[in-house]
């Protein structure tokens, strides 16, 4: 048995997240099904991030153990030949024994994309959240700056395991390019629903419905009910997972 590491890109629109769920289509299930079809072995795939229903990935990292007598490049080609069109393996190589894509990661970067114009775009609807009201990106960047550092993010999500809601955010900020507003955030780890909840609340800042001071107060409160409803999953994408800092 050899351990392999791969970088996977996917359109999560039609999937109920990464992690296997009984009776529901997931990214992990599709990857394991493809590996079993190619190798004839029951293969368990581990992922770096448990992306939620409808969330996408450009740089999801996975690992698995399998007996394979050919090159990693041939395994990558075989996987891409049988995977659904919404999922593609962009890189694949042998990994060190014991490598775990989740527990060995030192940071993850997510991007949230907003289409900020009066009218909706059918072609952008799978990958961006449409906001018709003009957004003050400078104010949203002031709010994003509050997030940098080590904070308790209980107001914006729930821990996947245990009770620890403290996370280290390395960078966070918005950029506007024409009608597109993109929020990038890198942290050591994320709470469940954290990025979408942050975005939903920062959009209130951008619309003048919440001040930066009030946003900071929501963060400091640790009260989940004070944050805005989470932004839709369509705009969220796992961009990169880093190992070693």
Q: Which of 126, 43, 41, 129 is nearest to 86 (CA)?
A: 126
Encoded tokens for 231:
């932004």
Residue pLDDT, tens place only, 10-29: 999 999 999 999 999 999 99
Give the residue numbers annotated as catalytic, written as ranges.
Answer: 52
Q: What is the pTM of this model?
A: 0.96
Which residues contact residue 160 at a Cβ distance below 8 angstroms, ignoring those fewer than 6 apart? 50, 191, 192
Please compute the mean of the pLDDT values over residues 28-46 and round it to a whole number: 97
Mean per-residue pLDDT of the chain: 96
Residue pLDDT, tens place only, 89-122: 999 999 999 999 999 999 999 999 999 999 999 9
Q: Is 119 helix (H, G, I), strand (E, B) or coil?
A: coil
The domains located in the chain, with CATH, are 2-94 (3.30.70.580), 107-242 (3.30.70.660)
């Amino acid at each position: 048995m050899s351990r392999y590491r791969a970088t996977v890109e996917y359109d999560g629109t039609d999937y109920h997240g990464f992690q296997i769920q009984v009776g529901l289509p997931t990214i992990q299930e599709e990857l394991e099904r493809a590996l079993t079809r190619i190798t004839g072995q029951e293969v368990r795939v581990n992922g770096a991030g448990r992306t939620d229903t409808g969330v996408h990935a450009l740089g999801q990292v996975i690992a698995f153990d399998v007996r394979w007598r050919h090159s990693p490049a041939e395994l990558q080609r075989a996987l891409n030949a049988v995977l659904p069109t919404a999922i593609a393996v962009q890189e694949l190589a042998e990994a060190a024994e014991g490598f775990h894509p989740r527990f060995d990661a030192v940071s993850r970067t997510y991007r949230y994309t907003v289409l900020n114009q009066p009218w909706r775009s059918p072609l952008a609807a799978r990958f961006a959240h449409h906001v018709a009201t003009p957004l003050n990106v400078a104010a949203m960047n002031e709010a994003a700056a509050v997030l940098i550092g080590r904070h308790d993010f209980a107001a914006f999500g729930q821990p996947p395991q245990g009770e620890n809601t403290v996370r280290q955010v390395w960078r966070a900020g918005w950029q506007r390019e024409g009608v597109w507003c993109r929020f990038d955030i890198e942290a050591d780890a994320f709470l469940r629903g954290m990025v979408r909840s942050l975005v939903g609340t920062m959009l209130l800042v951008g619309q003048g419905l919440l001040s930066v001071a009030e946003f900071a107060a929501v963060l400091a409160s640790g009260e989940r009910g004070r944050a805005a409803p989470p932004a839709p999953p369509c705009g969220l994408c796992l961009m990169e997972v880093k190992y070693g800092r």
